[in-house]
Structure formats: C-alpha cells, structure tokens
A and B are shown apart, each in its own frame.
Chain A
Amino acid sequence: MAMAVFRREGRRLLPSIAARPIAPIRSPLSSDQRRINLHLFCREEGPLGVRSISTQVVRNRMKSVKNIQKITKAMKMVAASKLRAVQGRAENSRGLWQPFTALLGDNPSIDVKKSVVVTLSSDKGLCGGINSTVVKVSRALYKLNAGPEKDVKFVIVGEKAKAIMFRDSKNDISLTVTELNKNPLNYAQVSVLADDILKNVEFDALRIVYNKFHSVVAFLPTVATVLSPEIIEKESEVGGKLGELDSYEIEGGETKGEILQNLAEFQFSCVMFNAVLENACSEMGARMSAMDSSSRNAGEMLDRLTLTYNRTRQASITTELIEIISGASALEAAK
C-alpha cells in the first residue's frame, strides 16, 4: 500500500522518505489515512523531499539581498562622511590656482607639439560612472591633439583608468601612479608626484583631466591646461593675455624666463592638488549616489521576494488543508 502511495505522489516523496522506515504507520489504515500520516510525518523535512512546496530557496535569496542592502547602506554612510571631510578642503584649494589663471589666462585650445594628458581616477570601484567619463574625455583629447608631428602621451593616476586605458591606448601611456589615496591627501604628496611627472615627461602643454565637484549629484569632467615656460614665452610674443606679462616689473636678480619657469612648475603643482581633491570629492559623491540607488534596488527586490514568499507559503498551506479535508471527507464517506 505504501508503494502505491509513493507512486501516486510521484517525485515529491524523495529517496529520503524511502530511506526512513514508515513501520509505525503500517497498521490497518486506509491509503488516504496513510497518506495524511506520511504528510504529517514529513512536513518539517525542509529542503529534502517535502510534500509542500519549498520556501527555502526564496528565504535564502531574501537573506542575501537583505545583507547586501545593509552593506550598501553602510558604504553610503562612509562615503557621505568622507565627502564632508574632503569637500571643505577642495573648495579652499580652489584659491590656489585662481591667481595663476588671472595672470596667465587659460588656453585649452592651444596647439602644441607635445601634449601630455594627465588622467585622474580612483583606485577603488563602486563609484558610478566618473572613471569612464574621465577616460572618454582623455581619449577625445588624444584625438583632438594627435596628428603629424604632434605627440600625445598619457600619465594615469589611479587603478581604474589604468585598467580601462590599458585596453586600447597602452602604447601611449608613459607613467602610471597608484596608491595615492593610502594616506589622506595632502600637498606634500601631490607636489612630489608633480615633480616626478615634470622630471620624467617632456611636454609643451599638460592637460589635466578630472571630475570637478559642483554638488553631491553633479560632477563635470574638466580639463585644466598648464603650459610649459617655453610655450608661455612664445605666446607672450604673440600677444593677448600673456603679452601683458612684460608690463610687470621683476624684482631681484631673476630674468623673466626663470620666473616663468618657477611659476609654471608651481602652477602645475597647485592645479594638480586642486584636481586631486576635487576628484576625490566627486568620487565620494558618486559612490554615495551609486550605493544609495543600489540600496533602493535591493529594497524593491526584497519587496518582490517577500510577495513571492508569502504567495508560496499560502499556496502550500492551502494545498495541505485541501488534502486533509479531502482525506477526512473520504473517510467519512467510506464509513
């Protein structure tokens, strides 16, 4: 009789039940009664061979989605607090390069033989699209400035841009810098970096590509141009903003060329410092919004899973009730 029951129930009564002896029930019971007892016996079997539909899979998914939601919420809080710390410094550092732009003007469209594109990006991921926008702008600058006799090289700061640019522009990379964020950002670090770049790369114009921080949700990729002193000399002969440099009086025993050289180096260092700070702010802001939308998505997923779970649970309870009641009524009819 038990075998008939097994066959009737088909696959739902799995080998684990067959392995367990059902001797206690082999009494003069009808097949329906036996079925009900088997069912009562194995209702708590969990994932193995249940008669009722299993909710275990859905429950596991819900647990993991909830954990992910907690993690992304925590990451958002951390990014928000880091943002608050860096934002003040970034806004204050803007005053470092503004006098330079007032003195020397900004020449993003200048045509030079050797351009070096300095791409700033983050080392860690999960920060939204800021690294890919910076890489896009760098590649566009490359196309704009490449040509016969013109040369464009890349200096890449940060792991993420390195990975992306390695794929198609690797022959044009001349320096990569990583682990810049290990210590809190400070001017000493950035100036040593600027010094290294100046010593290792020949350039007529340096174009620094970074994300400028406007607000927590708005970061625009920006290009800051720093010219080498020779180009400044050439341009000042042409006229325009740089032509007014001659009207300044120079104290001390230095020539205009020397002062321009000092100024150009210092300008590069200041602009790099500001760019690195702004990029860090943008990274924190982008990570905040990425983690925020991720937590919201996890919440929606959790809602949908809860609905599925409840529906499955209620369906299995209903099936059980139907079977019990039909068994009971069959018994009564048999009597």
Chain B
Amino acid sequence: MASTAAVPFWRAAGMTYITYSNICANLVRNCLKEPLKAEALNREKVHFSLSKWAGGKPEKPILRSDTPGV
C-alpha cells in the first residue's frame, strides 16, 4: 500500500485528528452568512479548567477558554 512515511501534514505537525477536524469545522462556520454565523460561533464556545496532578498533588490549573478572565 502507501508508504508508512507519508503521514498527513497535520499529524506531522503534532495535531491529532480531533484538532484537525475542529479547525476544518471552524472554517466551515466562518463561511456562514451574518446572523447565522454569529449564532454558530457563539454556540461553540469552549471553557474549562484543567489541572494535572503529580504524586497526589494538583498543579496549577490551566484555563482553556475563549473568554479568559470572565
């Protein structure tokens, strides 16, 4: 079949398939016309706070958000 060295460009850049499909979806959303576009972008807002743990202790939490500081 195809050679195993031909990974898609996005995987070579370190992205997972999920990130790749999200970027594509965002592109499609940005193609919408005005009122629907604002609604669609509003609908897909991201906000959560992640914290890694090491040895039973949480480290400083990372906030992944489109609206940081809110």
Contact = CB atoms under 8 A, between A and B. Distances in A.
Interface centre among A191, A261, A265, A266 (most CB of B within 10 A): A191
B45 interface: yes
A216 to B, nearest CB: 26
Contacts of A198: 16, 18
A178 interface: yes
Interface string B35-70: 000000001111111111101111001001000000
B19 interface: yes
Contact of A255 (B2, B18, B47, B52): B2
Contact of B18 (A175, A184, A194): A194
Contacts of A188: 22, 25, 44-46
B9 interface: no
Main secondary structure of the interface of A (DSSP, over half): helix
Interface residues of B, number: 31
Given A192-B64, A253-B6, A258-B7, A269 B18 contact: yes
Interface centre among B6, B16, B61 (most CB of A within 10 A): B16
A180 B61 CA distance: 13
Contact of A177 (B6, B17, B18, B48): B48
A335 B17 CA distance: 106
Contacts of B64: 192, 196
Interface of B: 1-2, 4, 6-8, 11, 16-19, 21-22, 25, 43-53, 55-58, 61, 64
